[in-house]
Structure formats: structure tokens, C-alpha cells
Structure 1
Amino acid sequence: MSEGMTGPEDLTGDGASELAPDLPAVVEGEDEGTVLVLRALGLGDAVTAIPALRGVRRAWPRRRVLLAAPSEVGAWLQGLGLVDGVVPTTGLEPLRWGEEAEAVTDAPPAGHVAVNLHGSGPESHRILLETQPDLLVAFRSDEAVVPGPDWDDDEHEVDRWCRLVTWAGGRCAREDLRLEPPASRGTHVVVHPGAASGSRRWPADRFAAVVRRLADAGHDVVVTGGPAERELCAEVVAAAGAGDDLAPGGSVSDASGTLDLPALADVVATARLVVSGDTGVAHLATAYGTPSVVLFGPTPPTLWGPAIDPERHAVVWHGEDLVAPGGDVTYLGDPHGDDVDPALERVTVDEVVAAAENLLTGADADA
């Protein structure tokens, strides 16, 4: 850490055996300020950062935690008690956070700690440095003149941010990814055909075939998607022949554009199974312990796959035999590309349905 910067407070108790709770009670008169965390990304990124957010709580148990993130995602995390307030932002916009900090802490945002859970820098580092923190916790950036541990391109997303926060004194691990599961599960299967980019979006006609075969097998299938994905989901439902006669007990419904984030999380948490690409819904399924079939394309599952409970999740990926751009040994496509990735293109309907039925059979046996 740079000269003159104050390190994180010790954990409660002896600093080894005691962990601060996820919701530390800040006693009146003992509030020691604010921790400003930057994670101005989407749902999947937010979920994979949950362990690190819990680590932040443990590193600074007597400080309020503000999260700079998109409004809906931040509000959802605040509703779970993982943060105390939200600084609405998207991407790498300059932060306007003074009023939010004062509203949460009842004091001006002086002497705060900043934690960069957004990226390797230097742009994200500079945005936090502009808030003039007493301490910036971030990966090392020579360009931004910020000390810290080195960034590792080959690290799983959950492990990466846990390593950073643990380095700063806030222990956390993959197990901290867990969210409280529902008291009971429903009868529905979630199929989520959308993704933020075309390279991570399996063809709609194949999703439709999966929906039809699951419904024909007697499952209640709920197709989910955001407001911008209504057209895609309608195409999937129509191609699945949802209006035709289905096997007894089977059904198909389109919930796209009708669910806010808490409602979507509840639908995923109570599902018997989730089928999706590598997107936010898949990470929700991991956190809630909902069995899932996840289709990977440009990014290998070693970097973004289910971080816990491998027996609950089936990862479908065919990048092993592909040569990455540039000739690297490990295939890594363009996660922001417009066209479906070659690895994802190799995924077949038969293998997705087989993986789904295998997990559903296992869930029935465990019930």
C-alpha cells in the first residue's frame, strides 16, 4: 500500500476465528465511515462479486458499504443486505456519490475506502481515485500508479475478486457465493434464450426445440428474458409450438419482459432446472443452488462456469478442439461479438435435452 494510506481494520475478535456477519450492526457512534465499491456491470458480474462483497463486510465491519452499480442490480443487492446503499452508474462514468454517501452515513463522505471490483484498470482505478479515498484496494496498475496484487487473466471470476479482497484483509471464498435457497421449489423449468451479445446467444430455433421437448416430457417450461428480449422469446415460444397439444402436464409460458430483477431471481430460485447460455440467469442458478444446464461459447467455463456444487450443474462446451484466435492453447473467443461463437455453434439440441433430463431425474430422486 502507498505511504500514508491506512490499511483495513482487523477482523472482530482475534482476527482469525471471528467473522463479521454479512449484516454488521453499526452501533450508533461507532460508524467509522464508508467503503465505496465499484462494480458497474450487469447481473452475472454482480452475482460473481457476491463473495467479494461479503469479504468487504469482513474487512471493514464498522463501515457502511456503498456500491457503484446500475440501479436495478444495485437495489437488488441492497435488498439482500449485501450493501447499504447504491450509487447509480453504468460502465465507467464519473461517480456522483456525495449525496448517496451522506444519506447512508449521515455524514459527508470523508476518509472513505474505495474498492475496485470492476476491472484491472487504469480507467476504473482513476474513477475511484477521483473520489479522493484514503485507501484504494485494486489490482496493481503501473499506468494509474496503483499498488496491489497482479491481475491473472486465467483466473475464475469469483476467485479473482476474492483474492483481491482477501489481500486487503477481508476473507472470502467460493462458498460465500450462496444465497438463501427457497423453502421449497416449484414445478417449473426456466429456459432463458437471451444473452448480452450474439456470440453468447445459442440459435433461437435450437432453444425452441429444447423447450418443445421438455414440455412434451411433461415439464412446465417458463421462457424468461428482459424487455429487450421479448421478440426473441416470442420467436422461441412460437417455434416451440406452444399452442399445439402438449403431453399431459406439459406447458410453455412466456414471462419475458414481465419480471423485475427480484421476481426473476425468485423464478430462478424456485425452479427445478434452468437452461441458459453463459449469462446472469446462470449465475443466479449457481448462487441459489438451482440445477442448471449452461451453454458456453466464447468464454470457457474455467473462467465463468459454476463455482460451487458441480454435481448440480451441467456445463456444455466444445472449445477443447478449437484453436483460439492468435493460436493460444486455450480457446477464447470474442465475448462481445455479433455472431454466434464457433464453440457455442457446436452445441446440439440432443445433448442439452439429455443433460436437462439427467438433472431433472436426479432432482426427483433427491426430493
Structure 2
Amino acid sequence: MVVPPPAGTNNGMQAARPAGSARRVGQGVGPVLEKFTGVERIAVLRGGGLGDLIYTYPALYALKAAYPTATITLLGTPIHAALAAATDGPIDAVELLPFAEGVRDGGSGNTDEDEQAVEDFFASMRARKFDLALQMHGGGRYSNPFLLRLGARHTAGTRTKDARFLERNLDYVYYQNEPDRWLETAGLAGAPTIIPPLLRARDEHRRNTATLRNPDRASLVVVHPGATDPRRRWPASYFTEAVVGIALEGAQVLVVGDRSEKALAQEVAECAAAKLPAEHRDAVRSVAGELEIGELAALLESATVMLASDSGPRHLAQALGTPTVGIFWVGNVFNAGARGRSQHRIHMSWVTECPVCGADVTQVGWTAPHCGHDDTLIRGIAVAAVVQDVLDLTATSLLLQE
């Protein structure tokens, strides 16, 4: 539902437009409203990790198509800046968000907010005189007030019932496909839904990763055993068993992860190699912590299939056109699961209660606090079924390459 602010509401930066003044001119994922006029500078607020940014790419491409002369500045995080610099896409510039509650934390749940850094950030952004600012960062309890302080002429975004109004608003309902959510948000600004092109790795990064490929193996499967939320992680022992099964079928397996996941990736690779016959042991290794984001993109682009829990690298592989096998908790499938099945397979855990205390884990965010337990919710997904999907997609992918 598109919700204009109540007539006469002042959002702190400008008077709100009266209800009904934005005409509906088309249909995309949701209603497409009339475009704003004179838009040359667009700011998009999106914090979080790698996958969080990739969710917004369809919407960013739609905005670029709707406002072709406008520059799009992403207000994001260091990993976002690295990805934007390493690939070609709709983002013209990235400004790093300051540490601020509900927008960007300092790691390990700490906000570490620096009031002066926040004030300096807003002074710099107001000087940019953005014509349009879009909130693509959650329900708006913290992000809407943050967005309004940019001083943009026009604002649009999602909001829960307790969040500040923007000029054009979309009800935030948690269980929704995330790329579709942000396409609806772009529709508030007059951007029709389009099917975006795939991301592409750059030649220099392809050259840097070419030596990782083992030409003696029939295929390359990239495995990512990590996930930001421990509850979304398939057990390392399951990944180990899967890697063994995949390597025995003739695939090269490279295990990836960032520097914080190096020990986990090495555990999976080393345990798998120890279980393999001698002739297959060289087929498995970890490259976690060794690749910059552009090199990771190049490696994923060259992979036959990627196997991962619900994580940023899996989303990146999908954005690059690489087939994926994803292991999900059922609630995350609504938000983050690939919609097609010709290139992507999804395995779902239907667990709805915390395995430790029995708390209802389907309640999220503002409706119920985290129970405090981080035990995996996807332990029940069988290794054999996952391996079979990897092998099926491998066969299909190799056939299409002939």
C-alpha cells in the first residue's frame, strides 16, 4: 500500500505533499507513480552487508532508466564501495555512512556512534543538494529520520507504523522478496520495473583469478560455508561431507569467505581433503581471506555452480549469472531466495521454533526480541539432496557451455 503522509504533516525538512497529489501512471512490481521533476542528484540509503546491497540492484537500475541524466550516490558501507568500484553498474558514487544506531553499527552489535562524525556527514550531504533521497534500509524507525536529515527536495521509502513519514511511503511488511521490495520503492519515485542486466567481473580481476582454476577437473564448484547470522549456517561438517561428494564426481572445489571466515573455510577444506582418496585431494582448497571483492566476483563468474547458505557471496553469484544451490531457513526464502529454478535450487528448513528454548523464530524485529540463542535452524537439510542438486546443475551448466 502506498501511503502519503497525513495532510499538513511536517517531516522536519519540508511540508508534506497532500494525499493523492502523486498520480499513479503505471504498474511494475507495485504501482508506479509520477516521476519527480528536475531530478539530477539521487541519494539511496542502504547499509548492511554484501547481499543487502545486491538486493537493491534491480531498483537502482530502474532508477537509472527512469532518470538517465541523474547521478546515483549510494550511502553505504565499505563492502558496498568495494563492489561498486570492482564492477560496472548503476551506482555513480558511494559515500560511507557514519556509525549511527539502526543505520550502521560498529560491529559485534556496537553502534560506536561518533556524534561529530554524524554531524559532519550530514553537513557534507546537505551541501550536495540532493533532489531525491530514497530509503532502502529496513522499516524506517531509524533510517527515515536519518534520510530526512539529508535535506533532499523529495523523499520516498518504506516505513513501519511507528516510523517517520517520508513524502511517499510504502508499508514495510517483513516477509517479502527483498529485490521486489526495493523495486516497489523505486516505483514510488516513478521508476517502472525492468529486468536488470547481470553484473560483470572486470578483466583485471579475471586475470588475477585465472590461475586458481584446475584444468584437469571437469567443473568448478565454489563453496561458501559462512553467513552473518549463525542461525543461517549449515553445519561445517555437512559442508565437508558435501565437498567430498562433489569432488569425488570430478569437480574442483574452492572454499571462499572473508578474513573473519578463514578458519571455518580451512576447516571445511582440510577435513574434506582428509576424507578424499589421494587422487582427489588436490581438487579441494580454501581461498578464504585471499580474494578482494572484485576477484571474488571473477571467481564466482567462472564457477560452474556455487553452493552456499543464505549469504552475500551466494547473492553475488546469482547477480553474476552463476547457478547456485542455496540452503535456507524457510523465512529467509521469502526475503532472499532466488525465484527461478532453471539455474537456482533452494533447500528449506521448516523449523519455526528455537531448538534451544522453543521461542517462535518467525517473529522478527519489532514484534519479538531475539531469544538469545544462535543455534543453526537449518541442520535438518540432508547432504545427499544438496549434492544431487549441485551435480544436476553442473550437468546442465556444462551442457549449455558446449
**TM-score, normalised by the number of residues in structure 2:** 0.74
- Gapped runs of 5+ residues in structure 2? 6-13, 18-24, 27-37, 105-117, 214-218
Whole-angstrom CA distance in 2 between matches of 1:334 and 1:232: 28
Residues 93-118 of structure 1 deviation map (CA, whole Å, 9 limit, x = unaligned) = 5475479769xxxxx41253211111
1:229-249 Cα shifts (integer Å, max 9, x gaps) = 011111111211259544469
Answer with 176-185 or 41-50: which moved more.
176-185
What is the match of residue 381 of structure 2? Answer: 347
Matched, 1:35 2:39: no
Give the whole-Å Cα distance in 2 for the aligned partners of 1:230 and 1:62. 43
Pair 1:140–1:348, CA change in 2 (3 A): closer
AA aligned opposite 1:56: L
* Whole-angstrom CA distance in 1 between matches of 2:249 and 2:171: 50
Which structure has the highest strand share of the two?
2
Q: 1:124 to 1:366 in 2, by over 3 A?
A: same
Q: Is the 8 A contact 2:224 2:307 kept in 1?
A: yes
- 1:92 equivalent to 2:103? Answer yes
Give yes or no for contact 1:297–1:341 (8 Å, CA) kept in 2.
no
Match of 2:224 in 1: 192
What percentage of aligned pairs have identical amino acids?
26
* Maintained 8 Å contact 2:144/2:163: no
- The 8 Å contact of residues 198 and 338 in structure 1, kept in 2 or not, is answered as no
Q: 1:284 — aligned with what? A: 316
**Contact 1:208–1:239, Cα closer than 8 Å, also in 2:** yes
Aligned: 1:226 with 2:258: yes
Which has the larger displacement, 194-203 or 148-157? 148-157
What do the CA deviations read for 1:56-108 (whole angstroms, capped 9, x no partner)? Answer: 21333222111111123223224423211111126615475479769xxxxx4
Question: Do the aligned residues in 2 keep the contact of 1:317 with 1:347 (CA within 8 Å)?
Answer: yes
Q: Deviations over 1:314-337 (max 9, x none)?
A: 101131x756955979xxx99997
Amino acid at match of 2:188: W
Number of residue equivalences: 337
Separation of aligned partners in 2, 1:95 and 1:68: 15
Superposed, 1:68-217 pairs within 5 Å as: 68-78=75-85, 79-89=87-97, 92-93=103-104, 94=118, 96-97=120-121, 108-140=127-159, 143-146=163-166, 147-173=168-194, 175-176=195-196, 178-180=198-200, 187-217=219-249
Question: What displacement does 1:348 show?
Answer: 1.4
Shift of 1:33: 4.0
Cα-Cα RMSD: 3.5
Please tell me the residue identity of whatever aligns with 1:63. A
Retained in 1: the 8 A contact 2:122–2:149? no
Distance in 2 (alpha carbons) for counterparts of 1:101 and 1:57: 20
Match of 2:294 in 1: 262
Report the TM-score, using the length of structure 1 for normalisation: 0.80
How far apart are the structure 1 equivalents of 2:159 and 2:261?
38
Letter in 1 for 2:198: R
CA gap 1:334/1:195 in 2 versus in 1, 3 angstroms:
farther
SS of the residue 2:317 aligns to: helix
Letter in 2 for 1:172: T
Name the aligned partner's letter for residue 88 of structure 1: L
Question: What runs of 5+ residues in structure 1 fail to find an aligned partner?
Answer: 7-14, 17-30, 103-107
Q: Does 1:317 align with 2:348?
A: yes
How far apart, CA to CA, are the structure 1 residues paired with 2:238 and 2:73? 41
Distance in 1, Cα, partners of 2:141 & 2:373? 27
Distance (Å, rounded) in 2 between the aligned partners of 1:224 and 1:129: 39
Tell me how far apart the structure 2 counterparts of residues 328 and 276 of structure 1 sit (CA, whole Å). 22
